[in-house]
Amino acid sequence: MNEKGYGVDTVTCNIVINGLCKSGKLDKAMEIAHEMWTHGSAALVTYFIIISALCKAGKIDEAKKKFREMIGKNLQPDAVIFDTFIHIFCKEVKISSAFRVLKDMEKKGCNKSVQTYNSLILGLGTKNQIFEIYGLFDEMRERGITPNDTTSILDDMLQMGINPNISTFRMLIEAFYKASDFGVAKELFEIGLSICGHKEFTYSF
């Protein structure tokens, strides 16, 4: 134990930091993390927890700072950390930033996951960039990556030459809702909002 009472066990500290982040006590989590880093315990998982929490809190600049700090300590980011940034940028409709992160991710030799593709598909949907989405589906098939239920539906629509619009989304959402598949219906509703626009899509229901 050090003078502040923190254990030297990195795993234990990370559990505490993660718990604090989940309970909204980010400042306290950062304090413990900094204490760890000061004493030479620079675990990748600690940076991941803090970076994820900062991103979720909308503190993107601070998250980037921690990312650069992590690189400076020769800790190589993994796909999960890259996915975190891609997801946040897509959610904030900063598509160019998301693809810049993707480029860095590929340079580091990290493979894109279903999560990576899902974030990019939703991000492109906000810009109604249907052809780019179609290209991502093609890439997924070439790499042998199976889309989840919702992205499979959108993939099928594109394969059939159907340009997703309010009517097609309403039809699909109602069909899955009646089939009691509420998870897929909810995801389709969220995709419909991003592609068709919040005002128009909401008023149609």
Structure tokens at 194: 């991003």
Q: Which domains does the chain have, with CATH numbers?
A: 1-74 (1.25.40)
Show Cβ contacts of residue 6 under 8 Å, excluding neighbours closer than 6 positions: 13, 32, 35, 36
pLDDT tens for the 205 residues of the chain, in order:
344 444 457 888 899 999 999 999 999 999 999 988 888 776 889 999 999 999 889 898 999 999 999 988 888 889 999 999 998 888 888 899 999 999 999 999 999 988 898 888 878 877 778 788 878 888 888 888 876 667 777 776 676 566 677 877 877 787 777 767 788 788 888 887 877 776 666 655 5
Integer Cα distance of 145 and 155 in angstroms: 13
Buried (b) or exposed (e) across 134-173, using 16+ Cβ within 10 A? bebbeebeeeeeebeebbebbbebbeeeeebebebbbebb
Q: What is the pTM of this model?
A: 0.68
